[in-house]
Structures are given as C-alpha cells and as structure tokens.
Amino acid sequence: MVRAGESEALRRCAECGGYAYGGAPDCGICRDLVDGIVEEEWAAFLRQWDTTPGGTQERTLAEMVAAEPDRHDWRLVDAALDRLRCPDCGDRLTRGPVGCPACDRAHGYRYAAIETDRPGVPPGNEHAIRVNVSVVRRPQVSSDGEVLVRRLLLPLLLAGFLPTTEEAQRISALVKKSPPGRRAQLVEQIVQALAEGFSRTRPAARAAGSSPTSPDTPAATHRRSAPGRPR
C-alpha cells in the first residue's frame, strides 16, 4: 500500500503557491495534506479491525497503540495520540502547551515507533519525514526558524530527498544569521535550489534502481528512534 504523501512529485499548492505540504500549518490545504499523512494510515488500520471511527472501540485501539509505540508504525502512533486527551492540559495528547508534563512525556515515547524507509530513498529519509511532520503539526513547541525549515523541506523529503550534513548545516547557519524579515525568503530560495537539483538527479537514480546516495542501499530500512530523541 502506498502511504499518503509517499513518492509524490513536487507540485504547487493552489492556495499558498508553495510546494504542496510546505505551507502548513498556516495554509489550510497543506495542513490537511500533512494531517492526511497519518490519518489515511489510521483509517486503513480501522478497516483492518472492522471499527467505526468515533466509537468506543476506536478509542480503545488508540490507547493500545499509544501504550505500545515500539510495535507500530509512527504514523499509527501519531494518529492514536491525536485521539487521546491529555490528563493535564485537556488538549490532544502531545499537542498541549510547552511544559505540559503529560504531553511532553507522550511526545518523547512516540519516537520509539517503527520507521521504515521506502525502497530507493537514502537511509533515514523516513525518520526525517516523521520529525518534520511532528514539528509542523506541533509548531507551538519549536522556534519559528525551525518550523520554517521543517515545513519547507517536507515536500522534498516526501519525494525521496534527504539533505546532506553540509546542506543541513548551511540551512541552519542561514536561519541563524538572517534578519527575521527576510528569513522566509532566503530559506525558500535555498530550498528551491535543492529542489531543482534533486529534480535533475532523481530520474537517473530511479532508472538505475538505486538510492540517490548509494547503489548498495537495501530495499527498505526499519529503524526505531530512542524515546525522547527525535533527531
């Protein structure tokens, strides 16, 4: 089954004009697309269990998945947490304000979930997707600069891109030294350059049936992050 957002060609959003997914959380269309990355997998999970959305059984399944994140794909775990209420702040679990103990604890445990790299992408691509999705869907706990970079890179990650260490450091340095008023424009320019370079090299990598980084990359990579270590 192809998961939501996977292997998508870069395309423009009709509402915000940027690459689809990259306008979240402010752009409504992009925000729905990002939510769909976890929601479509949850819907398939409910169908497997012959469960109707919104009922008591769905909540029971959500509690089961959230209690055993290391046994489930990260998309299911994130969707399950959305269906549970925080006992401390009352918001969706992990979505509460900075410093909410229960939300922070659940947010750390979510990174024990399973991450499976797709065939033909650099190892770690799936981890990068889930971290960026987490930041974009929980922007209140990250700096404006981090949210900006995470959301703009997300469309490229979904298409199979993974920045090198040098590229990531260059973007980080740009964010730190840029005036707030020009930061978004400058980051958009560097991401656009990365997208153009990726678009030129990606077809050749697919034709060769290999990863963009190594012809010996395995077809799929399963990994788990340590609890509380999102990146």
Q: What's the pLDDT at 228? A: 44
What the block records as the tokens of 142 is 């990250």
Q: Give the C-alpha separation, 212 to 198, whole Å.
A: 9
Assigned token pair, 199: 């678009």
Write the pLDDT tens digit of every residue in 54-106.
Answer: 999 999 999 999 999 999 999 999 999 999 999 999 999 999 998 999 999 99
Average per-residue pLDDT for the chain: 87
User: Largest Cα–Cα distance in the chain?
Assistant: 53
Q: Are 149 and 187 in contact (CB under 8 A)?
A: yes
Report pLDDT digits (tens) over 122-148: 999 999 999 999 999 999 989 999 999
Side-chain half-sphere exposure of 219, counting CA atoms within 13 A = 0
pLDDT for 230: 46
The residue to which tokens 């306008």 are assigned: 23
pTM value? 0.85
- Assess whether pLDDT exceeds 80 at residue 20: yes
Q: Long-range contact list for 38-46, CB < 8 A, 24+ apart?
A: 38/4, 38/75, 38/76, 38/78, 38/79, 38/82, 38/133, 39/4, 39/79, 40/3, 40/4, 41/3, 41/4, 41/73, 41/75, 41/76, 41/79, 42/75, 42/76, 42/79, 42/80, 44/1, 45/76, 45/79
